[in-house]
């Protein structure tokens, strides 16, 4: 096992850490490429600061016993949901969304932290659901635990961020052992809710879904983003147009290119090779994290790793699909790579928790 040694002779997994750092470095590089010479200039440096913050949080999470966090997960969950309530009641709208809290010149999205807290509480739930079958009460609890923050974030309204909580339900149900007839029931419920939800969506959200289904219908409106992103990705070819050589990104045909569409920048400038590099790093990270989950010393640790990994995986798949029009543009960033302080910092915090579980995998540790 490739591992690094921390003081005290215990080892942490270097594959997970290395992949995370590699992706974060790529992120800084391409945020720089996408923002140099624009009004966003200087964001790469900020991103680096946030990575540093995230690394501190990561180290703290490794050193702090995750069992304590699980024990107090309900309190943490409540503490993290409070700012979301506060935001809905008093928050200032930034980009028409109430999801940011300002600290001086930095902004933070409390919902990102709420993701971690929710994952902790879900893990704590399954820590005690250990009798080999998934009880209906547990499913109900799972629904409430995840549903509450989803609702709060959905009302901000930040649909993309709200969606990133949902993998926790899937993780709980699947790894908790939901039988086949349970999946059928859930599928039916989801279908009904989705049908009803269509009437609750805002017009622009409906437009995005419509655009996803038929991107050529509205080339200059919401179809524009998808189209320009596809052109950026496709025109990159095998080896790309070279760093800072992407015409789609450097001439700003790409929308929000340093945040949600950063992968399109990489795909344009480094081509298919760049995409393979990114997807390869993620693949190594996820496969390794799942392996680590198997070695966790307790059921809470298993579900914590699975929940955190599941959320990350979901974001990666949706984001990468978005770039080439395989998923609607929902505002889900690419973990580690997209610009966004709260996202990067909490992703490293999640890595810290995963590594903490691995660090304490032996019962005597």
Give the residues lining the site for another protein (CB under 8 A).
39, 130-132, 174-175, 177, 228, 230-238, 247-248, 251-253, 267-268, 271-272, 275-276, 279, 282-283, 286-287, 290-291, 293-294, 299, 302, 306, 313, 316-317, 320-321, 324, 326
Read out DSSP for 225-237?
HHHHHHHHHHHHT
Least distance in Å: CB of 72 to another protein?
Answer: 23
For residue 238, the minimal CB distance to another protein (Å) is 6
Minimum CB–partner distance for residue 214 and another protein (Å): 18
Shortest Å, Cβ 39 to another protein: 8
Q: Fill in the DSSP letter of residue 218.
A: G
Query: Is the CB of 134 or the CB of 152 nearer to another protein?
Result: 134
Q: Are 114 and 149 within 8 A, CB to CB?
A: yes
CB 164 within 8 A of CB 314: yes
Least distance to another protein, CB of residue 221, Å: 13
30 or 50: whose CB is closer to another protein? 30
Sign of CA dihedral 297, 302, 308, 313: positive
> What b/e readout covers 133-154, taking b as 16+ CB neighbours within 10 angstroms?
ebeeebbebbbebbebbbebbb
CA nearest neighbour of 12 among 62, 77, 51: 62
Q: Shortest approach of another protein to residue 309 CB, angstroms?
A: 9
- Cβ proximity to another protein: between 127 and 158 the closer is 127
Which is nearer to another protein, 40 or 74 (by Cβ)? 40
- Measured at the CA of 19, the angle between CA 18 and CA 21, to 5 degrees, comes to 65
Residue closer to another protein by CB (options 50, 313) is 313
What sign has the CA pseudo-torsion 24, 164, 321, 42? Answer: negative
Is the Cβ of residue 80 or residue 267 nearer to another protein in the bound state? 267
Identify whether the C-beta of residue 122 lies closer than 8 Å to the C-beta of residue 146.
yes
The DSSP bridge partners found for residue 177 are: none
């Amino acid at each position: 096992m490739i591992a690094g040694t921390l003081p005290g002779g215990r080892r942490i997994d270097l594959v997970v850490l290395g992949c995370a750092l590699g992706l974060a470095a790529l992120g800084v590089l391409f945020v720089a490429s996408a923002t140099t010479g624009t009004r966003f200039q200087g964001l790469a440096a900020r991103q680096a600061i946030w990575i540093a913050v995230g690394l501190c949080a990561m180290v703290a999470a490794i050193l702090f016993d995750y069992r304590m966090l699980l024990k107090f997960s309900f309190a943490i969950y409540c503490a993290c949901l409070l700012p979301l309530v506060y935001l809905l009641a008093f928050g200032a709208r930034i980009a028409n969304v109430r999801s940011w809290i300002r600290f001086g010149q930095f902004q933070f999205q409390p919902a990102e932290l709420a993701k971690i807290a929710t994952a902790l509480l879900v893990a704590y739930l399954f820590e005690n659901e250990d009798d080999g079958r998934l009880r209906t009460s547990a499913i109900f609890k799972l629904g409430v635990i995840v549903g509450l923050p989803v609702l709060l974030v959905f009302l901000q309204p930040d649909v993309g961020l709200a969606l990133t909580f949902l993998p926790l339900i899937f993780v709980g149900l699947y790894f908790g052992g939901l039988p086949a007839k349970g999946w059928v029931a859930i599928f039916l419920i989801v279908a009904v809710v989705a049908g009803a939800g269509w009437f609750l969506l805002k017009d622009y959200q409906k437009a995005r879904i419509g655009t996803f289904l038929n991107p050529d219908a509205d080339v200059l409106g919401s179809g524009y983003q998808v189209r320009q992103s596809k052109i950026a990705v496709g025109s990159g070819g095998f080896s790309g147009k070279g760093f800072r050589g992407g015409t789609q990104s450097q001439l700003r045909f790409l929308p929000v290119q340093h945040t949600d569409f950063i992968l399109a920048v990489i795909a344009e400038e480094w081509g298919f090779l760049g995409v393979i590099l990114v997807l390869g790093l993620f693949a190594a990270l996820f496969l390794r994290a799942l392996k680590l989950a198997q070695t966790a010393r307790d059921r809470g640790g298993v579900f914590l790793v699975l929940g955190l990994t599941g959320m990350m995986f979901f974001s990666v798949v949706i984001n990468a699909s978005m770039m080439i029009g395989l998923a609607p543009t929902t505002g889900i960033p690419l973990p580690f790579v997209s610009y966004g302080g709260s996202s990067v910092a909490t992703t490293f915090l999640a890595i810290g928790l995963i590594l903490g579980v691995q660090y304490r995998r032996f019962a005597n540790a």
